């Protein structure tokens, strides 16, 4: 009897102790001389990260511990913040940076760490995106995402289209002409598509505009003409049979690999994530030119230092080094990230010909787009608004839903969500 | 101990029969309480408390990171008028029917064939059971490539025999069929093994009698086998109902690379996927908690239906079966001992 | 008699067809894992096993910490299994073989917990563990599952019939306490039941996906299932490598299963008959 009692008390107290000792601990990820950082695949230059993993330049005694996350990046960051332990010191944030603003208290104010002095080096619109309405500098600029038209010269030749970039831009200056060109391509090579799916067209059309879903003072714009026109354009491309209906990532890659996707309006980073990764055999066949409908920006990211960070000074030293004009120029070479520091644009690294694009100097195309991009306001509610609209677009493409019905349903859903979020 | 001391007085009558018990019977039963306590302690911390806590959370608007904001019944109000939520219930039911019906029918056919087969029995059983121990993630990846619109084996096959391609992973029915196929594939063998056990429990005399009466195999199957298997069939129906209401991994892995984990048109979004999506993708912890309660109510509802179908007093049946087992075991042991003695 | 023979043959044909359907996805997994991605994405697809298997497996090892994840999954699965076997069999032994005040009520309570779906408390469990500081650690995978109602119920049914009362009485006469009775009388008799519950628990923890997906937030410490999903997310472009990863994650468990398959299947069936 005594044996059993002693045993159980021991077991019981061990469990209780395990629970109590861990209780309330708030920790950041990694060892005490490591700065942990999370980002997604293809958002940094690996050589630079390799250097910092040995020792962070300009800050003695600290090194970087980098983790590249695949799908659902944002979910993982937010879950880690909610989990309150093992939160990374530094996180990358996408162009939906404003959706993090309600939780800006989870991050350091970078101005207090010396960001203020570096503002002049960056594109003004890009810098502004990382600052909260209260004036807190929450996120530091990484790359930008100027858009352009990517196309396969071999297919264009088969359709009898002049493959010179200037000529292609001339044939398809606007979306109407681009759709006509798409039809021509499809006639020459059956099965050809000019977009992977309907939401890509919508998203890239929206990325060309000077306004998005809300005004800075909180007025809803998502039901206005500029949104509806982008919506209708996407529907039109699908109705013309020019979309590959690839809704998940392996299908999206498959249509690049198997050559169904013969042209794509994409942001600069797609060069790597798309053809370079998924279709290495098409090396030399791709070119880029000015996109139909004008300049645009989609994606392009930021870095933020979480409040869990064990050494914010070292973290800031690292991010300001990584995003210096010189290093951003290097990130353009691999993995084709477009700098947010105008000083980089004159760096010879950017004007190097890219053999994947048949020796074309693709920087010219993207720099033009970046310069002309009008800059739009991103609100903290943009994701809430965009999700139902994109979902309804998918309904149209995947199951043939009536577009007017889809639009009405999307608007109703947006209104419900915004009401619940207290935005309207 | 808190649990036992609180509940003990209620049941003093149940132990009154043991006359020689000393007055401090609770103290004397300490080892037993200690033995059963780990489960109850863990349940209190990780089961009961979270259940109560989830009521509290569901009355709030909370992203899991910032401040909780009291909204009263607003989450439930939103839930009831949430088109997506009702859709997930519909999806879950459809997927459940699409998987359970063929699954149980096929299992019955296989079990019957297994019952009649005398050779290769162990091989069959293992071959049929392997899908069930295979990880859902890995196998969903495989089925994802079989059903893929653009490079799927199934579409390649349809194309080669001249039938048009089907947009499996983007059409509402295609998605549900794909998910149901994965579920069916994983569970047919499992259910067949259980049916086989049920078949083997039916006395051979019954079949002999049927044979004498001149019943055809088909008649024997439907008139004797199926009715006698009723309890086993209901058991598998109950377990597949509970499992079916909790389907998550298949749709999450098929469509997990987008934020829309239910696939195009949310056609594969199940109740649990929606819970996960709300709480951990959209960071609406309060709403996630409310969906959890809706799921709970559904499971209780189905459990009541199942319980009605089975009927009878469960505990009585259990004790009767246990008693029979003991008898059988003792008899077997005796027989063994006798055999040994003879030797 | 020939009718009988034809029926047997038809039965075997049906069964063999079923076996083919059961095993085909494994074959297809190997086909995809042993060909290159462009081969998989092309039409007509390759139907035979290719020669790139080891190359693809090598890529898996380069891209994710496969053995690290496997070790983590193994520790979690073994940890839960050992604790479950101990706690469940101990509780089942007490429930099955001893009278104590409140026993039936406690057992009823235990059965009632069956009704509560794990997903109901997904959100609050996460928040609770976050307050404990357990998110991201193995504790979050092991401790909450260390004892479960199913195992206790199942073992109790088993123990009731399997452990003769006379043996317990004899042990009592020898002056053995409860825990000693459990060790000397209960455990040896329960061993076959434990083998089943052990394999069952191990497989379930090994294959669990939703819970580790939520609580294992550190991308460098993922269970095999989540790591596999991660592999698919990052390198969806390299499908043959993802399939090689799937294959590698499936093989060890099937190995474990095959070792104990015969008695496991028999015990599972017997267990189901007891409900």
Residues of B in contact with C22 (CB under 8 A): 127-128, 130-131, 185, 188-189
What average pLDDT does range A86-115 have in this prediction? 95
Note which residues in 132-161 of chain B have CB less than 8 A from chain A: 144-145, 148-151
Residues of C in contact with A257 (CB under 8 A): 37-38, 41, 237
What average pLDDT does range C156-169 have in this prediction? 88
Average pLDDT over chain A, rounded to an integer: 90
Name the pLDDT band for B11 (thresholds 50, 70, 90).
very low
Report pLDDT digits (tens) over A12-51.
444 444 444 433 345 788 888 999 999 988 889 999 999 9
- Measured CA to CA, the distance from residue B252 to residue B269 in angstroms comes to 9
Q: Is the pLDDT of residue B334 over 60?
A: no
Assess if residue A372 is contained within a domain: yes
Residues of A with CB under 8 A from a CB of C: 1-4, 7, 15, 18-19, 22-27, 29, 38, 41, 67-72, 76, 79-80, 82-86, 249-250, 253-254, 257-258, 277-278, 281
What integer pLDDT is reported at residue A10 of this predicted model?
A: 45
What average pLDDT does range C83-105 have in this prediction? 95
Assess if residue A2 is contained within a domain: no
Name the pLDDT band for B222 (thresholds 50, 70, 90).
confident
Q: Which of B45, B256, B259 sits opposite A387 (nearest CB)?
A: B259
Name the pLDDT band for A3 (thresholds 50, 70, 90).
very low
What integer pLDDT is reported at residue A13 of this predicted model?
A: 41
What integer pLDDT is reported at residue B15 of this predicted model?
A: 41
What average pLDDT does range A100-120 have in this prediction? 95
Average pLDDT over chain C, rounded to an integer: 89
Is there a single domain that holds both residue A94 and residue A184? no
Assess if residue A5 is contained within a domain: no
Q: What are phi and psi of A34, to 5 degrees?
A: -120, 140
Is there a single domain that holds both residue A45 and residue A179? no
Q: Among A21-35, A224-238, A270-284, B307-321, where is mean pLDDT lowest?
A: B307-321
Cα distances from B115 to residues B121, B132, B211, B229, C11, in angstroms, run: 9, 20, 17, 13, 10
Assess if residue A9 is contained within a domain: no
CA distance, residue C189 to nearest chain B CA (Å): 13
What average pLDDT does range A286-309 have in this prediction? 95
- CATH number of the domain to which A343 belongs: 3.40.190.10
Q: Is the pLDDT of residue A179 over 80?
A: yes
Find chains touching chain B: ≥3 CB pairs under 8 Å: A, C
Regarding an ipTM greater than 0.95, the answer is no
Examine the fold and report which residue of A357, A376, A401 is the final residue of a domain before the chain moves on.
A357
What integer pLDDT is reported at residue C229 of this predicted model?
A: 86
What integer pLDDT is reported at residue C1 of this predicted model?
A: 56
Q: Is the pLDDT of residue A81 over 50?
A: yes
Please count the residue pairs, one from chain B and one from chain C, whose beta carbons lie less than 8 angstroms apart.
324
Report pLDDT digits (tens) over C117-135.
778 889 999 999 998 999 9
Is there a single domain that holds both residue A277 and residue A334? no
What integer pLDDT is reported at residue B149 of this predicted model?
A: 86
Is there a single domain that holds both residue A287 and residue A321? no
Q: Beta strand pairing status for A63-69 and A34-40?
A: parallel
What average pLDDT does range B246-252 have in this prediction? 92
What integer pLDDT is reported at residue C257 of this predicted model?
A: 87
What integer pLDDT is reported at residue A105 of this predicted model?
A: 95
Percent of chain C with pLDDT over 70: 97
Q: What are phi and psi of C244, to 5 degrees?
A: -60, -40
Report pLDDT digits (tens) over C60-80.
998 889 999 999 999 999 999
Nearest Cα neighbor of A142 from A161, A158, A129 is: A129
Residues of A in contact with B257 (CB under 8 A): 70-72, 248-250
Which of the 8 DSSP states describes residue A210?
A: S
Other CB atoms within a 10 A radius of the CB of residue A117 amount to 9
DSSP sequence for A261-302: B-EEEEETTHHIIIIIHH-GGGTTTEEEEPPTT---B----E
Q: Among A130-134, B205-209, C79-83, where is mean pLDDT lowest?
A: B205-209
Report pLDDT digits (tens) over A370-423.
889 988 999 999 999 999 999 999 999 988 999 999 999 999 999 999 998 888
Is there a single domain that holds both residue A116 and residue A135? yes
User: CB under 8 Å to C14, separation ≥6 — which residues?
Assistant: B109, B110, B113
Assess if residue A396 is contained within a domain: yes
Is there a single domain that holds both residue A123 and residue A254? no
Assess if residue A150 is contained within a domain: no
A13 touching B (Cβ < 8 Å): no
Q: What is the dihedral of CA A166, A167, A170, A171, to 10 degrees?
A: -150
Find chains touching chain C: ≥3 CB pairs under 8 Å: A, B
What integer pLDDT is reported at residue A314 of this predicted model?
A: 95
Assess if residue A370 is contained within a domain: yes
What average pLDDT does range B294-308 have in this prediction? 83
Token duo for residue A16: 């209780």
Residue B247's H or E segment, with its range, is none
Find the residue in A nearest to C216 (Cα).
Answer: A80
Assess if residue A319 is contained within a domain: yes
C169 touching B (Cβ < 8 Å): no
Largest Cα–Cα distance of chain A, in whole Å? Answer: 93
What integer pLDDT is reported at residue C225 of this predicted model?
A: 93
CA distance, residue B308 to nearest chain C CA (Å): 15
Domains of chain C: 64-234 (1.10.3720.10)
What integer pLDDT is reported at residue C213 of this predicted model?
A: 92
Q: Among A65-69, A127-131, A286-290, where is mean pLDDT lowest?
A: A65-69
Is there a single domain that holds both residue A87 and residue A130? yes
Specify which of A364-378, B20-34, B312-326 reaches the highest per-range mean pLDDT. Answer: A364-378
Is there a single domain that holds both residue A105 and residue A222? no
Residues of B in contact with C29 (CB under 8 A): 138, 142
C146 touching B (Cβ < 8 Å): yes
Residues of B in contact with C103 (CB under 8 A): 11, 14-15, 32
- Structural domain B77-318, CATH architecture: Orthogonal Bundle (1.10)
Q: Is the pLDDT of residue C54 over 60?
A: yes
Sheet of strand A302-305, all strands in order from the earlier edge strand to the far edge: A63-69, A34-40, A90-93, A302-305, A140-141
Name the pLDDT band for B338 (thresholds 50, 70, 90).
low
Q: Is the pLDDT of residue A263 over 50?
A: yes
Please count the residue pairs, one from chain A and one from chain C, whose beta carbons lie less than 8 angstroms apart.
106
Report pLDDT digits (tens) over B149-202.
888 899 999 988 988 889 999 899 999 999 999 999 999 999 999 899 888 888
Q: Using CB atoms within 10 A of its CB, is residue C166 exposed (0-12), middle (13-18) or buried (19+)?
A: exposed
Q: Is the pLDDT of residue B322 over 80?
A: no
Residue A93's H or E segment, with its range, is strand A90-93
Q: Is the pLDDT of residue B22 over 70?
A: no
Q: Among C94-98, C210-214, C238-242, where is mean pLDDT lowest?
A: C238-242
> Do the chains contact at A4 and C235, CB–CB below 8 Å?
no
Is there a single domain that holds both residue A107 and residue A239? no
Is there a single domain that holds both residue A79 and residue A116? yes
CA distance, residue C12 to nearest chain A CA (Å): 39
Structural domain range at position A59: 34-144+299-357
* The total number of structural domains that make up chain A: 2
Q: Give residue limits of the domains in chain B.
A: 77-318
Is there a single domain that holds both residue A41 and residue A87? yes
Q: Is the pLDDT of residue A92 over 90?
A: yes
What integer pLDDT is reported at residue B134 of this predicted model?
A: 93
Is there a single domain that holds both residue A67 and residue A186? no
Percent of chain A with pLDDT over 90: 76
Q: How far is CA B69 from the centre of its chain?
A: 36
Percent of chain B with pLDDT over 90: 47
Residue A40's H or E segment, with its range, is strand A34-40
């Amino acid at each position: 009897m005594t044996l059993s009692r002693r045993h159980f008390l021991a077991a019981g107290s061990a469990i209780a102790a395990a629970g109590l000792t861990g209780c309330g601990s708030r920790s950041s990820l990694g060892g005490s001389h490591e700065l942990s950082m999370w980002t997604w695949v293809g958002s940094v230059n690996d050589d630079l990260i390799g250097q910092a993993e040995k020792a962070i330049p300009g800050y003695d005694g600290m090194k970087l511990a980098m983790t590249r996350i695949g799908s659902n990046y944002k979910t993982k960051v937010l879950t880690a913040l909610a989990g309150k332990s093992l939160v990374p010191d530094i996180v990358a944030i996408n162009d939906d940076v404003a959706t993090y603003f309600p939780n800006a208290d989870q991050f350091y104010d970078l101005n207090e760490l010396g960001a203020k002095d570096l503002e002049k080096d960056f594109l003004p619109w890009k810098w502004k995106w990382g600052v909260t309405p209260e004036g807190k500098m929450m996120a530091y600029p990484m790359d930008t995402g100027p858009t352009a038209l990517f196309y396969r010269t071999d297919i264009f030749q088969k359709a009898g289209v002049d493959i010179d970039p200037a000529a292609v831009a001339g044939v398809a200056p606007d979306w109407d002409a681009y759709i006509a060109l798409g039809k021509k391509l499809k006639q020459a090579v059956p099965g050809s598509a000019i977009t992977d799916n309907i939401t890509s067209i919508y998203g890239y059309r929206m990325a060309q505009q000077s306004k998005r879903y809300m005004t800075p003072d909180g007025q809803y714009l998502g039901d206005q003409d500029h949104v509806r026109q982008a919506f209708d354009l996407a529907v039109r491309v699908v109705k013309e049979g020019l979309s590959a209906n690839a809704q998940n990532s392996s299908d999206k890659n498959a249509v690049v690999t198997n050559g169904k996707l013969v042209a794509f309006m994409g942001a600069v980073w797609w060069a790597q994530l798309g053809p370079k990764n998924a279709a290495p055999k098409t090396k030399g066949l791709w070119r880029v030119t000015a996109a139909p409908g004008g300049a645009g920006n989609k994606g392009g990211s930021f870095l933020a230092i979480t409040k869990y960070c064990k050494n914010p000074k070292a973290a800031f030293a690292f991010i300001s080094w990584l995003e210096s004009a010189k290093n951003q120029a290097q990130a353009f070479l691999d993995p084709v990230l477009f700098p947010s520091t105008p000083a980089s644009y004159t760096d010879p690294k950017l004007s190097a010909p890219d053999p994947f694009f048949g020796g074309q100097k693709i920087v010219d195309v993207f720099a033009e787009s970046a310069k002309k991009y009008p800059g739009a306001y991103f609100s903290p509610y943009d994701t809430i608004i965009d999700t139902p609209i994109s979902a309804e677009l998918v309904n149209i493409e995947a199951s043939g839903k009536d577009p007017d019905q889809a639009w009405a349903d999307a608007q109703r859903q947006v209104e419900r969500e915004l009401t619940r979020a207290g935005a309207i | 101990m808190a649990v036992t001391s609180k509940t003990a007085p209620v049941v003093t009558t149940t132990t009154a029969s043991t006359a020689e018990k000393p007055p401090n019977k609770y103290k004397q039963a300490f080892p037993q309480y200690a033995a059963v306590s780990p489960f109850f302690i863990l349940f209190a911390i990780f089961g009961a408390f979270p259940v109560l806590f989830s009521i509290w959370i569901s009355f709030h608007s909370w992203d899991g990171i910032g401040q909780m904001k009291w909204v009263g019944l607003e989450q439930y109000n939103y839930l009831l008028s949430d088109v997506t939520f009702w859709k997930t219930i519909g999806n879950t039911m459809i997927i459940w029917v699409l998987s359970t019906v063929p699954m149980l029918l096929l299992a019955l056919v296989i079990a019957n064939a297994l019952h009649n087969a005398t050779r290769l029995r162990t091989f069959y059983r293992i071959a049929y059971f392997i899908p069930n121990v295979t990880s859902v993630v890995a196998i969903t990846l495989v089925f994802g490539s079989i059903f893929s619109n653009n490079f799927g084996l199934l579409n390649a096959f349809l194309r080669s025999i001249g039938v048009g391609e089907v947009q499996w992973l983007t059409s509402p029915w295609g998605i549900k069929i794909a998910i149901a196929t994965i579920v069916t594939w994983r569970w047919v063998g499992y259910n067949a093994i259980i049916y086989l056990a049920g078949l083997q429990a039916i006395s051979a005399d019954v079949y002999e009698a049927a044979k004498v009466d001149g019943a055809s195999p088909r008649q024997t199957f439907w008139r004797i086998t199926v009715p006698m298997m009723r309890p086993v069939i209901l058991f598998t129906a109950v377990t597949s109902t509970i499992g079916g209401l909790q389907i998550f991994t298949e749709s999450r892995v098929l469509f997990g690379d987008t934020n829309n984990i239910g696939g195009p048109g949310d056609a594969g979004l199940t109740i649990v996927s929606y819970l996960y999506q709300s709480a951990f993708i959209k960071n609406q912890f309060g709403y996630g908690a409310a969906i959890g309660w809706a799921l709970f109510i559904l499971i209780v509802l189905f459990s009541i239906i199942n319980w009605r179908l089975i009927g009878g007093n469960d505990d009585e049946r259990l004790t009767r079966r246990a008693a029979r087992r003991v008898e059988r075991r003792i008899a077997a042991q005796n027989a063994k001992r006798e055999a040994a003695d003879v030797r | 008699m020939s009718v009988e023979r034809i029926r047997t043959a038809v039965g075997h044909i049906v069964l063999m067809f079923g076996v083919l359907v059961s095993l085909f996805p494994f074959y297809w997994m190997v086909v995809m894992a042993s060909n290159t991605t462009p081969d998989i994405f092309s039409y007509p697809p390759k139907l035979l096993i290719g020669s790139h298997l080891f190359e693809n497996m090598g890529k898996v090892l380069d891209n994710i910490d496969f053995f690290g994840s496997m070790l983590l999954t193994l520790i979690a699965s073994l940890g839960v299994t050992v604790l479950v076997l101990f706690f469940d069999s101990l509780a089942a032994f007490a429930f099955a073989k001893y009278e104590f005040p409140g026993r039936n009520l406690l057992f009823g309570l235990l059965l009632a917990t069956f009704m509560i779906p794990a997903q109901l408390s997904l959100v609050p469990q996460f928040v609770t563990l976050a307050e404990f500081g357990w998110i991201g650690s193995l504790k979050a995978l092991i401790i909450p599952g260390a004892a479960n109602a199913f195992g206790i119920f199942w073992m109790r049914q088993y123990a009731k019939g399997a452990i003769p009362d006379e043996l317990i009485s004899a042990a009592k006469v020898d002056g053995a306490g409860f825990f000693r009775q459990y060790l000397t009388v209960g455990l040896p008799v329960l061993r076959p039941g434990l083998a089943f519950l052990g394999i069952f628990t191990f497989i379930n923890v090994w294959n669990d996906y939703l819970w580790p997906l939520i609580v294992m937030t550190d991308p460098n410490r993922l269970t095999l299932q989540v790591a596999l999903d991660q592999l698919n997310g990052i390198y969806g472009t390299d499908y043959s490598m993802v399939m090689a990863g799937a294959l590698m994650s499936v093989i060890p468990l099937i190995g474990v299963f095959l070792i104990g398959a015969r008695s496991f299947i028999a015990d599972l069936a017997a267990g189901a008959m007891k409900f």
